[in-house]
Structure 1
Amino acid sequence: MAKLEKAKITVLAGSKNGQVFEVLFNPTEYSFDRSNTYKATAVPGLGSPLLQFVNGEADQLSMELFLDDYTDPSGRQPATTQRSVEDRLKDLGGLLNIDRDLHAPPPVRFSWGPLEFTGVIEKLGRKVSLFQPDGSPARARLSVTFKEYRTLQEQLTSPRRESADKSKRRVVVGPQALWAIAAQEYGDAAQWRRIADGNDLDDPRDIRPGQWLILPPQDSNDGTGASLS
């Protein structure tokens, strides 16, 4: 029988660099969220505003974690260093505090099998449902939200998002023509020459399904790329 992989939260920098928090009860589910920011520009005579892409937002990973003194008395730590639910709540809550070396909360990595997510803990909600005789927490459910963390260098060397003002690639699907692709990508069928020049094509009809095309960036008067209608 394969060994059950345990989810872990690893601190990646700062005074707690390398510290690992292992989760006894793996999450029953988790969710990813991604969003983009657009600027709406009202144009007289149009029924809806033109939308201008501004930037992409960071990914978010959300889940619930469970802590229980009675089923997890050692907190998955060596028996000589038992930690209570109260102590572990303080440990995880401390990852929201400003680190003395970084002057900001530390980045962490959540890993569970093939899933690895690097980010910072944006939100940490705690709901205590069982208490010790002295009133300290004995059972708690944590609602954790991680926000993606990527350094400036990572974003420059490995851009994740594409837009009309940056070169990108797309595959030809079905019996398409260059002017149809130009109309879809640039909003102007006459831009097929831009694609033809970027791919050294003499005949705009000489493309086939499954072929990859380079789509050169589209220039705009204000240098911000194309608007979406």
Structure 2
Amino acid sequence: MAGVPTAPVKAELRTETKEVIPLLFNPAELTITKSASWNAAESKGNNAPLLKFSAGQPGTLALSITLDTTDTGEPVTVHTDKLLKLVSVDPKLPSTDKSRNKARPPWVTFNWGTLQSFKAVVERLSLKFTYFAANGTPLRAKADLSMKQYEDEAVKPLQNPTSHTPSLQTVHRLSHGETLDRLAAKHYADSTRWRLIAEANNVVDPLALEPGTLMIIPELPVRRRG
């Protein structure tokens, strides 16, 4: 029904074993770090040496989330145990070799609406239980996760998982009354460009968009001179 607020899109972690771990509350912040190694070659007579690229370093993603089950009385450990599995060896994963004691934890991706991170392993997990029932049952916890890129991927740290577009994109959360032509006018200064936004988000019916939806705002295509 038009004008009725919709629930926000929930963030989640997805593992390589196809398990989905929904986050009870969305993170307020995400920190993404990506670095590269450069070597300085000796350059006599100059103020600074010429740097030569050596290698890219794995990207990292850090987030803090709150887990709270005070409304149901369910132990919050039901949810924290799922996070602990992400730093525990899984012998069912590919490349496991029991004869050589070779195994590893699963890689995961962080997903939130149309956003998806690179494949990453949880390098560090910190759990702090902050509220307990009278019988000692933990009902609230804070989890800090530090994730490191698992493999080389020619993508941005956060991307549209359907298009894998390598160019930088803007993300916009729809407010009440916003339409695609208004978004185009705001971001492109041209309301007729709304189809670019529709195609980037696989929108079939522009009139059926709901407030709270995350929309990818792609860059305008570059016009090449003939």
TM-score, normalised to structure 2's length? Answer: 0.55
Aligned residues of 1:37 and 1:56 also touching (Cα < 8 A): yes
Question: Corresponding residue for 1:48?
Answer: 48
> In structure 2, what is the Cα distance between the partners aligned to 1:134 and 1:72?
15
Q: Distance in 1 between matches of 2:73 and 2:53?
A: 51
Instruction: Report matched runs for 1:100-115 at 5 Å.
Output: 100-102=91-93, 103-115=103-115
Distance 1:89 1:121, change over 3 A: same
Query: SS state of the match for residue 27, structure 2?
Result: coil
Is the CA contact (8 Å cut-off) linking 2:24 and 2:68 kept in structure 1? no
2:61–2:147 CA contact under 8 A, matched in 1: yes
The 5 Å alignment of 1:21-170 reads: 21-71=21-71, 73-74=73-74, 84-102=75-93, 103-117=103-117, 118-150=119-151, 155=153, 159=154
CA RMSD of aligned residues (A): 2.8
Task: Tell me the CA shift for residue 160 of structure 1.
Answer: 5.1
Identity %: 29
Q: Counterparts of 1:11 and 1:40 in 2: how far apart (Å)? A: 39
After superposition, the Cα gap between the structure-2 partners of 1:3 and 1:131, relative to the gap in structure 1 and judged at 3 Å, is closer
Residue ranges of structure 2 left out of the alignment (5+ in a row): 94-102, 157-221
Q: 1:69 to 1:2 in 2, by over 3 A?
A: closer
How many pairs are equivalent?
Answer: 147
How does the TM-score come out when normalised to structure 1?
A: 0.55
Question: What is the distance in 2 between the residues matched to 1:35 and 1:116?
Answer: 20
Query: Alpha-carbon deviation of 1:50?
Result: 3.2
- Pair member with larger Rg: 1
Post-superposition shift, 1:211?
4.0
